Amino acid sequence: MKKLYAVLLLVCLCLCAGCGEQQVQKSDIVLDTAVTLTADGADAKAAIDESMARLKNIDGMVNPNVPDSDVCKLAQYAGSGHWVSLHPEVYKMLAFAQEYAAKTNGAFDVTTKPLVDLWGIGTDHAKVPSPQELMAAQKLVGWQKLELNEENHSARLQEKGMGVDLGGIAKGFAVDEVRQIYAKYGIKDGLINLGASSMYGLGLNKEGKSWRIGLRHPRKDDAQQKMAVLSLQDAALSTSGDYERFFEAGGVRYHHIIDPRTGRPAQSGAMSVTILADASVPDGGMLTDLLTTAVFVLGPEQGTRFLQTLPRGVEGAVVDGRYQLWTTGNMAAEMENVSEEFQFWQGSGELQ
């Protein structure tokens, strides 16, 4: 870990030959994620410093380990009838989450927290819960039991023991915020990288080419083994997979994306989901982050059908257990260097 920090805290400042502009890159761990921000331009350093501060500020609102964070307050007052005043940022995330909870019939549901906590995937107390524990946690989950008041940006949870988990949306929201800070400083080229979970590629890289992002092979332990490569130019990209945080017991892979309807890690037939949203899509970072989780829960067939209902500019690829790629929009054409182990699902074209 120490080594990781040493590498991450390395601040790289280099002169871009010829143009006299500086490319600045800075890394840190925020929102439980290895974040790397890159920007090119006269104000690149100021933009990155402000962006890092903003990420830490958002972290303080959504972090369940920060006692006075909005998410802690919501859990604390759950069932009391008390409305909790929220930062506008958290209100925006919750309102967006509720809109998509309704659209996905609850496949995406931020009230899944009691189940996330019970399974503890990615923590040192991960376990397969007993049926009784599962039933008790499931009773405390349900997006209809989260009430929002738009007038004063407040919210309340109807039952004691409920909570919200913004792990499937906050990093995407944060990407959009950094994008706005980059715009304020006139940054035209840069990469906002909040782990594979959420990215935004702005303009071009140092070589004057679009940013190239490798999509991880879902069944290779080595994160460097790629399934395909995508070019990212003025677009948001998000990936979620069952290989990110998981444990295995009795031959079953228990991972961190929970199907709120079964109370268990989603067994939808998907191994990974990648979503792209171009610059025309409002809140593209938050949307792609949310959609990877939602589409994973829905599975390849229902998930790609759902993607078809969304505005133009949003497209995705779902990898199923047979290494078939279910794609929407122009995604099949945009995926480069696709590893030979994967095939495009024959119906992909028909989905258009």
Binding-site residue positions for Mg(2+): 168, 289, 293
83-109: buried (b, 16+ CB within 10 Å) or exposed (e) per residue? ebebbebbbbbbebbbebbeebbbbbb
By the criterion CB under 5 A, which residues form the site for Mg ion? 197, 289
- Measure the CA dihedral 278/283/285/291, to 10°: -90
Site for ligand ADP in 185-244 (CB under 6 A): 197, 240, 244
Residue 308-347 contact track with ligand ADP, rule CB under 6 A, x = bound: ----------------------------------------
Contact between 230 and 288 under an 8 Å Cβ cutoff? The reply is no
Select the residue whose beta carbon is closest to ligand ADP and give its number: 167
Determine if 108 is a binding residue for ligand ADP (CB under 6 A).
yes
Beta strands in the chain (DSSP E): 12-15, 22-30, 33-40, 84-85, 146-149, 154-157, 189-194, 198-202, 211-216, 226-232, 235-241, 246-249, 252-255, 258-259, 264-265, 270-278, 314-320, 324-327, 343-344
Q: How far is the CB of 135 from ligand ADP (least distance, A)?
A: 18
Stretch that binds ligand ADP, among 19-27, 62-70, 88-96, 256-264 (CB under 6 A): 256-264
Beta strands in 279-327 (DSSP E): 314-320, 324-327
Please identify which residue in the block is written with the tokens 């119906």.
Answer: 347
- Return the SS3 of 265: strand
Q: How far is the CB of 33 from ligand ADP (least distance, A)?
A: 7
What does DSSP say about strands 235-241 and 198-202: parallel, antiparallel, or unpaired? antiparallel
Site for ligand ADP in 165-184 (CB under 6 A): 165, 167-168, 171
Closer by beta carbon to Mg ion, 108 or else 345: 108
Stretch that binds ligand ADP, among 55-63, 81-89, 252-260, 315-323 (CB under 6 A): 252-260
Stretch that binds ligand ADP, among 78-86, 127-135, 201-209, 251-259 (CB under 6 A): 251-259
Return the one option of Mg ion, ligand ADP, none that residue 71 interacts with (CB less than 5 to 8 A, by type): none
Closer by beta carbon to ligand ADP, 41 or else 142: 142
Output the six-digit token pair for 188. Answer: 């035209």
What does DSSP say about strands 270-278 and 314-320: parallel, antiparallel, or unpaired? antiparallel
- The contact set with ligand ADP (CB under 6 A) reads 108-110, 112, 116, 165, 167-168, 171, 197, 240, 244, 256-258, 260, 289, 292-293, 297
